[in-house]
Amino acid sequence: MKAMNRRKLFSVSAVLAAASLVATAIPANAAEVGVTASEIKLGMTLPMTGTASLGYNKIPGAAKAYFDYLNANGGVNGRKITLIVKDDQYVPTQAVTKTNELILKDKVMALLAPLGTANVKAVASSVNPAKRGVPVLFVNTGFSGFADVKKYPTTYSILPSYIMEAKIMGKYIAENLSGKKVGLLYQDDDFGSDALAGFKAAGTNFTVKVPYASGSQSAATAAGWITKFKAAEVDVVILFGVTSASLYMLATAAALKYSPQWMIDSVGGDSTTLKLAGVPAGVLYNAIGFSPVPATTDLTDEYVKLFSDIYAKAVPGSAFDLNVLLGMNSAFMTAQALKAAGQNPTRKSLMAVLNTKGSTLFNSALSPVGYTGTSHVGLTGEWVGKYSPTGDLLPIGGIYTTYTTDSGAGAVVKSTYKRPAMPAKGLTN
Amino acid sequence: MRKQRFIALLSATALVTGIIVSIPVAANAAPACDGKSPVQTCVGLTSDGAPYMMMVPANFGGTVALYSHGYRYNIDIPAGIPLIGGYKVTNTPEPVPGGNSAVAQYLFSQGIAVVGSGFARQGWNPDSAIATDVELIGVFKAQFPATTKVIAWGSSLGAVITQGLAEKHPELISAAAPMCLADNVPAELTMAGDFLWGLKVLFDPTIKAGNYSAGAAGNAEAYGDLIKVFTVMGKLQASLTTNAWPDTSSPTGKALAAGGVPPRSALLLLGLMAGLPTQSAHFDSISGPAGALKLSFPLAISPALAILENGTNAAALAILATQDVELQAGGAIFDNTKTDYAARIDNERVVFNAALSGNTVIDALLGAISPANPGAPRAVGSAAAIAKMNALHSNSGKINVPTILMTGVADPITPAGASQRVVDAYAEQFAKEKMAAFAAYKSTKTYVAPVNKLLMLWNTTPGKGYTTFDAAGSPITSTPAATGTNHCNFSTAQLLVVAKSLVSTSATGKLPSGGAIVTAGRKAGNLVLDPEFHAPLLKYYNQ
């Protein structure tokens, strides 16, 4: 039994108060998990190997490239950021194991950019970062549910929700492809459920819908999908899945000389990845695509220019693509949030920043994030583009027209958001 | 006597299981002791006829460890039944877990005596077993008046008895350790019933799955169910390569087969809705063989294999415990007329979406087992029997004495959620004790902090995965079960961590804490004290 009288309590408090005054003057003696006088440790799990890793396995290198750049320029309040990366192979049970390692063994301050709806949900239920108070920053999934603060209080979305994207696709179809027979390929889980909800909200009707179970995508299954679309004689095929699904579909279509009007979702439509994996640029040509961030070939964009320069020096020979840009953007936002979280950032102060100032953080996307105390919705808009003869996604007419909407019944409208100028050298420290 | 010589002498004796002392035939008579040294063995019968064994070292220091054994089937099992055939009902006393001589040696070396009974009745028996333990404590104290402290520990159903003893008679014990704790009977048999019912309605409608007859006819029905369930499991194992549903499948199952639903996905869904772990003795749902199946095996196949392994292990208990409790309650105790299986797997359908073959298949399966499908009739229990079952002893989870819980995170018979329920209950209890301490401070001006009375040791599975494959890429199932899996699958080192913790707690009144117990857990292998680990509660609690 411990007994402590009131006087002693007060004297201890006074000492602690004095100590905290001293502590605010120097970054030493930080008490938060993963934060020392010289370092902030962050952790990331995502598929680095396996079928689903295609393209997404560049995200850690991209984030590290930005953090290394930041560290070389003073870090965050004198602390360098260290990113620990673990391969979950896109298997939810692996994501649970690896996340446990990051939290319990590596003792990271926060989780950054985990990928995949099923993985993030598995971690939420089994590892329980919410109960532990561990921030889960900028999850690489557009599942709308992760914006729910009550259910996932420490999780922050970054991508536009799949519902939003489907609604924007639906609006484009209604305005530009009216009367065409449309087919839909979708991942048969929450990813696809969101898509179906978005298309329903947009009033899009499909001649045929082809679901595929996550992990089942292959050249053989793609041939089966094509058979179904051919049988339905659709004019337009929407690919609403991960990159590997798009890859197998487009590569198999090229081999079978099947060429409908393609429409590809943002997470499965990175042209650099698809081309490197063997999709001919000619197959991509004239396909319709969507993106929340500027075209990765658009060197007139100050973020694309800076980030591609940083990445080229950090990872020579690796192409700058959508996954790289998104990875660096998440690292850039993380650095700002950590800076704003105080001289000695804590998990709580980091999340307080995101809840109160998150929507004002600098960000390369052409729409802001929608963080508030009651919603952790990510980016709120996308622009529509077409793939060029070289297979690059470019804005239609050369002008970014960003559409914004919500994950509910709200209308899809043109965004009036004007992105603030990038801070000098892409640094806010 | 020097410690080394003491241990050598013990090793020379046939310890625990080998000792034969004639048990007095008269219940409640004084125990018969052999008077041997360094360990004296006494045997006897409690007033209800439970045989017991006491083993008291020459250096007895006044503390005795009372062990309560786990579930033993209440009927003999004919030799022809797979896996458990040839079992004979026994009430052999078990004074230490599994007769583990290393554990006994450790306790003796500390001057601690061990005692345990075989209980008068097998099957689900906490009501009578707690009374037996209470009596046994009195018998021991009468025989050895130097007794000052009693440590209680037990495994599985024995853990229920131990926790029950601590809840009802905290004045009798100084510390408790329920290991691989079972949950209360409605929760345990709901898990069993859900899985059995699922097997019946999809894979073999001739499985009775409860509502067994009384007497020999009921035994025959239970034996029949055991054979049918093991047969179905064997066919499901074969189906993993053929994708063919068992030929015994119901019309509902055959319709699903015709719709292209893989039987492995159906099996997995049954396991998930019942709450069986998705890691088993040999399947981690993480690892895959080199080559084309590296990703798809853990994603799509391994979870179903884990359910196959866990379900087979759990099936015997599910059938025989249901039959036993039905006999005690006087009728059918499983009723799923109001169970919403879709809600049960709301989270799992996302996490295991690939293994369940996607939302379309999941929805087809849920439709097949919904009340709307007359081909999958729900089980209707007897209200009176259910009331009687609910009146059997149940634990609230209240912690009265310093308590150490240890359980495997993938135990298929007593799921980790049973221990989690106690952890959750104690969190509320501790918060109330804190509030009471603050309230007392207002009047006394002295703050007396409540003392933690619960230590939870999670026996985790190997983090890096443990499924192994042969050169052809086939999974190997001949290796020992991985730590954290199977029922009460504890190593001697892990049992010793509990034993040592009990001894120190009994002596000091305080549970071990800090780096020492963390290190001890790590050295024993995969024992984790993570206070934020949260095992899923049994599905019964989420209805």
CB contact (8 A) between residue B285 and residue A50? no
Dihedral angle of Cα A100, A102, A103, A106, to the nearest 10 degrees: 130
A372-429 pLDDT tens trace: 989 999 999 999 999 999 999 999 999 999 999 999 999 999 999 999 999 999 998 7
What pLDDT does B512 receive?
Answer: 96
Angle in degrees, 0-180, between the axes of helices A347-357 and A322-340, rounded to the nearest 10? 110
Q: Are B49 and B125 in contact (CB under 8 A)?
A: no
Residue B443 has pLDDT above 70, yes or no: yes
- The reply to whether A162-292+383-426 shares the fold of A39-161+299-380 is yes
Smallest CA-to-CA distance from B488 within B406, B432, B399 is with B406
User: How far apart (Å, rounded) are the C-alpha atoms in residues A404 and A365?
Assistant: 12
Structure tokens at B309: 């392994």
CB contact (8 A) between residue A117 and residue B350? yes
CATH code of A162-292+383-426, in short, is 3.40.50.2300
How big is chain B, counted in residues?
Answer: 543
**Angle, CA B199 vertex, CA B198 and CA B205 arms, to 5°:** 105
**What Rg do the C-alpha atoms of chain B give, in angstroms?**
24
User: How far apart (Å, rounded) are the C-alpha atoms in residues B227 and B249?
Assistant: 15
| Nearest neighbour of B359 by CB, restricted to A100, A193, A216 | A193
What pLDDT does B408 receive?
Answer: 98
With pLDDT > 70 as the criterion, what percentage of chain B qualifies?
95
Please spell the DSSP secondary structure of A338-364, one letter per residue.
Answer: HHHT-SS--HHHHHHHHHHHGGGS--S
User: How far apart (Å, rounded) are the C-alpha atoms in residues B10 and B41?
Assistant: 13
Q: Are B193 and B336 in contact (CB under 8 A)?
A: yes
User: How far apart (Å, rounded) are the C-alpha atoms in residues B50 and B33?
Assistant: 17
| Nearest neighbour of B285 by CB, restricted to A93, A104, A213 | A93
B355-408 pLDDT tens trace: 999 999 999 999 999 999 999 999 999 999 999 999 999 999 999 999 999 999
Say which residues have a Cβ less than 8 Å from residue A25's Cβ, sequence separation at least 6: none
Q: Write down the domain spans for chain A.
A: 39-161+299-380, 162-292+383-426
Q: Are A420 and A367 in contact (CB under 8 A)?
A: no
* Average confidence (pLDDT) over B419-426: 97
CB contact (8 A) between residue B353 and residue A104? no
Smallest CA-to-CA distance from B539 within B421, B422, B368 is with B421
**Angle, CA B51 vertex, CA B50 and CA B57 arms, to 5°:** 130
Mutate to test the interface with B, among A97, A139, A248 (most CBs of B within 10 A): A97
CATH superfamily of domain region A39-161+299-380: Response regulator (3.40.50.2300)
Cβ neighbours of B353 in A, within 8 Å: 118, 188-190, 213-214
User: How far apart (Å, rounded) are the C-alpha atoms in residues B231 and B315?
Assistant: 12
Determine how many CB atoms are found less than 10 A away from the CB of residue A117: 28
Residue A211 has pLDDT above 70, yes or no: yes
What pLDDT does B531 receive?
Answer: 82
Beta-strand relationship, B527-528 and B454-459:
antiparallel
What pLDDT does A220 receive?
Answer: 94
Average pLDDT for chain B: 93
**Angle, CA A237 vertex, CA A232 and CA A243 arms, to 5°:** 135
Q: Checking phi first, is residue A279 left (phi over 0); if not, alpha (psi -120 to 50) or beta? A: beta
* Average confidence (pLDDT) over A71-100: 94
Q: Are B68 and B152 in contact (CB under 8 A)?
A: yes
* Average confidence (pLDDT) over A318-322: 95
Closest-CA residue of chain A to B446? A5
What pLDDT does A61 receive?
Answer: 97
Mutate to test the interface with A, among B278, B295, B349, B452 (most CBs of A within 10 A): B295
User: How far apart (Å, rounded) are the C-alpha atoms in residues B149 and B132?
Assistant: 18
User: How far apart (Å, rounded) are the C-alpha atoms in residues A84 and A103?
Assistant: 11
Q: Are A327 and A299 in contact (CB under 8 A)?
A: no
B298-346 pLDDT tens trace: 999 999 999 999 999 888 888 999 999 999 999 999 999 999 999 999 9
Cβ neighbours of B291 in A, within 8 Å: none
Structure tokens at B322: 């249901």
What pLDDT does A209 receive?
Answer: 98
What residue has token string 């009775």?
A: B208
Q: Which residues of B114-143 are buried (b: 16+ CB within 10 A; e: fewer)?
A: bbbbbbbbbbbbbeebbbbbbbbbebbeeb
CB contact (8 A) between residue B463 and residue A101? yes
* Average confidence (pLDDT) over B87-104: 97
Structure tokens at A232: 């339905």
What pLDDT does B8 receive?
Answer: 29
The CA–CA distances, whole Å, from A123 to A92, A96, B161, B277 equal: 8, 5, 34, 16
State the pLDDT confidence band at B22, using cuts at 50, 70 and 90.
low
The ipTM assigned to this model is 0.82
Helix (H) or strand (E) holding B445: none
- In DSSP terms, B178 is beta-bridged to B154
Structure tokens at A258: 């099947």
CB contact (8 A) between residue A94 and residue B286? yes
Å between B290 CA and nearest CA of chain A:
11
Beta-strand relationship, A182-187 and A155-157:
unpaired
| B12 vs A38, higher pLDDT | A38
Helix (H, G, I), strand (E, B) or coil at B5: helix
List residues of A whose CB lies inside 8 A of any B CB: 1-6, 9, 49-52, 89-94, 97, 100-101, 104, 117-118, 121-122, 125-126, 128, 131-132, 187-190, 192-193, 211-216
Q: Which amino acid is at B162?
A: T
CB contact (8 A) between residue B534 and residue A131? yes
Smallest CA-to-CA distance from B417 within B404, B402, B407 is with B407
CB contact (8 A) between residue B278 and residue A89? no
Structure tokens at A410: 């709200």
Using CB atoms within 10 Å of the CB of residue A375, give its burial: 0 to 12 exposed, 13 to 18 middle, 19+ buried: middle
Closest-CA residue of chain A to B285? A93
CATH code of B3-183+412-441, in short, is 3.40.50
Q: What are residue B39's phi and psi, to 5 degrees?
A: -125, 120
User: How far apart (Å, rounded) are the C-alpha atoms in residues B169 and A424?
Assistant: 71
CB contact (8 A) between residue A104 and residue B530? yes
Structure tokens at A89: 């192979």
B23-69 pLDDT tens trace: 555 777 889 999 999 999 999 999 999 999 999 999 999 999 999 99
Q: Would the pTM count as exceeding 0.90? A: no
Structure tokens at B366: 């849920």
Q: How many CB pairs (< 8 A) connect A and B?
A: 112
Cβ neighbours of B351 in A, within 8 Å: 92-93, 118, 121-122, 125
Cβ neighbours of A52 in B, within 8 Å: 295
Cβ neighbours of A118 in B, within 8 Å: 350-351, 353-354
User: How far apart (Å, rounded) are the C-alpha atoms in residues A271 and A322?
Assistant: 8
Using CB atoms within 10 Å of the CB of residue A153, give its burial: 0 to 12 exposed, 13 to 18 middle, 19+ buried: middle
CB contact (8 A) between residue B354 and residue A214? yes
Closest-CA residue of chain B to A127? B533
Å between B301 CA and nearest CA of chain A:
11
Q: How many helices (H) and strands (E) does chain A have?
A: 14, 15
Mutate to test the interface with B, among A54, A91, A106, A186 (most CBs of B within 10 A): A91
CB contact (8 A) between residue B298 and residue A128? no
Q: Write down the domain spans for chain B.
A: 3-183+412-441, 186-390
Å between A178 CA and nearest CA of chain B:
28
Q: How many helices (H) and strands (E) does chain B have?
A: 17, 11
CB contact (8 A) between residue B359 and residue A6? no
Structure tokens at B317: 């208990």
Using CB atoms within 10 Å of the CB of residue B270, give its burial: 0 to 12 exposed, 13 to 18 middle, 19+ buried: buried
CB contact (8 A) between residue A93 and residue B286? yes
Closest-CA residue of chain B to A122? B351
* Average confidence (pLDDT) over A173-182: 97
Mutate to test the interface with A, among B294, B305, B352, B359 (most CBs of A within 10 A): B359
CB contact (8 A) between residue B284 and residue A4? no
User: How far apart (Å, rounded) are the C-alpha atoms in residues B18 and A189?
Assistant: 58
Cβ neighbours of B445 in A, within 8 Å: 5-6
Angle in degrees, 0-180, between the axes of helices B358-368 and B251-258, rounded to the nearest 10? 160
Helix (H, G, I), strand (E, B) or coil at B517: helix
CB contact (8 A) between residue B298 and residue A1? no
CB contact (8 A) between residue A189 and residue B353? yes
CB contact (8 A) between residue A190 and residue B350? yes
Beta-strand relationship, A236-240 and A208-212:
unpaired
